[in-house]
Amino acid sequence: MNWYYADGGQQRGPVTEAELAGLIQSGVVRPETLVWRDGMAEWRPLAEARPAALASTSPQPAVPAVPPMAPAPTAGTADGTACAGCGRRFIPEDLVDVAGSPVCAACKPMMLQRLSEGAAGTPHGAGTSWDEGTLGEEDVLARDYEVPAGEAVQAGARELFGHAGTLLLGGALVTLVMFAIQAVPYLGPIAALILQGPLMGGLILACLKHLRTGRMEVGDAFQGFGPRFWPLCRAHVIPTLFASLAYIPVVIMVVAAAVVGIASGAGMPSITGVSVLVLAMAGVLLVGGVLVGTYLTVSWIYTLPLVADRGYRVLPAMKLSRRFVGRHFWQHLFLMILLGLVGLLGFIACIVGIFVAFPIIMFAQAFVYNRLFKGLRPAQQTSF
């Protein structure tokens, strides 16, 4: 049986029974020293937890004992279920259920203590994390970071077929619904514009739940159809419309060119100095529109996760996302290009490959967001 003990407010161990006896003899571990081993509900003084070990020792002067943090688990596995407390992965048999989340034996006392103190999950995260978030926006913006683009895609591909396939099935169902909406005659594009935010936001929340607790059900992918529906709808519609404004000059030039052609009686612009100039200007505006539209799309990439996970209003979420992305814009652009290539490969793979590629893309976005915005406290405002 391995033991952990507190020394100056720090966790020490693990140590065996024999090593613990030696520490007692040397005075390092005293009767009032807090100790813990697997199976104990909480840290307790040695005199209470292991009185037999003190039988042959003389009393030592008392020193104040500071409870240490729960010991880190020693039996993690890369392919198991993540503990909701420490994030390490274990086989399911080594975890216990605490308030609906899997917890390892080392973190169980900490989680039970938090529950007894009335701690709750994030109000906008649907219980997806034990981390309530304590950092303000400026604290998050002050941290430097690297965008783990390749790692995120690899994690999405790895997790896609794990966890009983719920991520694959949930993501595939969301993708199927999005395709079905687009196929509706006349009203399809409008319906897609309205429903795409709740669909993608719900899938992002499901991916975040999987990342933070190791738990996910297929129905989690559709949790955007609830109290978050309209905020998620706005979180998709508003950035999309704003980014689309960059292409309005191109549309104006194309219409102007068509009008010139019709007015000349040719039906299309003739190859004259005027028409060439109009086409050249349209080309310049098209390139400018693509650059501006791409910049805005990349800058607002975290708008939807911030609204879904932290309850931000749309405009503050857009502002925070733009400020955050602006620090390492090219890394975020590379992430977008990489995710675009994943989607393209999925589409090329007999089109049905998109049902695999899209969940990978959404999981990768959730993976990056979860890492870069870790600790951000939820927004207090719930109105538009």
Largest CA distance in the chain: 110
Query: pTM of the entire structure?
Result: 0.63
* Cα distances (angstroms) measured from residue 130 to each of 68, 112, 119, 140, 233: 19, 12, 9, 18, 27
pLDDT for 32:
83
**pLDDT greater at residue 95 or residue 65:** 95
pLDDT of 238 higher than 90: yes
Other CB atoms within 10 A of residue 173 CB: 18
pLDDT digits (tens, 9 = 90+) for 263-287: 655 544 455 555 667 677 777 887 8
Give the per-residue pLDDT at 161.
Answer: 72
Quote the pLDDT of residue 306.
Answer: 93
pLDDT at 202 over 70: yes
pLDDT on residue 132: 54
Is residue 55 within 8 A of residue 24, CB to CB? The reply is: no
Per-residue pLDDT at 213 exceeds 60: yes
Range from 5-19, 98-112, 252-266, 338-352 that averages highest in pLDDT: 338-352
Q: What percentage of residues in the chain have a pLDDT greater than 90?
A: 21
pLDDT value, residue 340: 92
Looking at residue 257, its pLDDT comes to 66
pLDDT tens sequence across 292-329: 889 999 999 999 999 999 889 999 999 999 999 999 99
Contact 183, 219 (CB under 8 A): no
Question: Above 80 in pLDDT, residue 225?
Answer: yes
Residue entry with tokens 């196929």? 183
Per-residue pLDDT for 353 more than 90?
Answer: no
> Is residue 65's pLDDT more than 60?
no
pLDDT confidence of 260, banded at 50, 70, 90? low
Return d(Cα 253, Cα 259) in angstroms, integer: 10
Mean pLDDT, range 15-43, rounded to an integer: 82
Q: Please report the pLDDT score of residue 191 as a whole number.
A: 86
Identify which has the larger pLDDT, 70 or 291.
291
Which residue shows structure tokens 């109105």? 383
Residue written as tokens 């704003």?
A: 242
Give residue 288's pLDDT: 85
369 pLDDT tier (thresholds 50, 70, 90): very high
Find out whether 327 and 320 touch, Cβ atoms under 8 Å: no
Nearest to 367 by CA among 152, 140, 77, 72: 152
pLDDT at 240 over 60: yes
Average model confidence (pLDDT) across the chain: 76
Q: Which of 50-64, 89-103, 195-209, 275-289 has the highest mean pLDDT?
A: 195-209
Amino acid 315: pLDDT: 93
77-81, 125-129, 356-360, 378-382 — which is least confidently predicted?
125-129
* Listed range (190-199, 200-209, 275-284) with the worst mean pLDDT: 275-284
Q: State the pLDDT confidence band at 333, using cuts at 50, 70 and 90.
A: very high
pLDDT band at 164; cut points 50, 70, 90: low
Query: What is the per-residue burial (b if ≥16 Cβ within 10 Å, else e) of 18-50?
Result: eebbebbeeeebbbbbbbbbbeeeebebbeebb
Lowest mean pLDDT of 54-68, 239-253, 363-377, name the range: 54-68
Q: Give residue-wise pLDDT tens across range 76-125.
A: 444 566 666 555 666 766 777 665 566 676 666 655 555 444 433 333 33
Average confidence (pLDDT) over 331-353: 87
Would you place residue 64 in the very low, low, confident or very high pLDDT band (cuts 50, 70, 90)?
very low
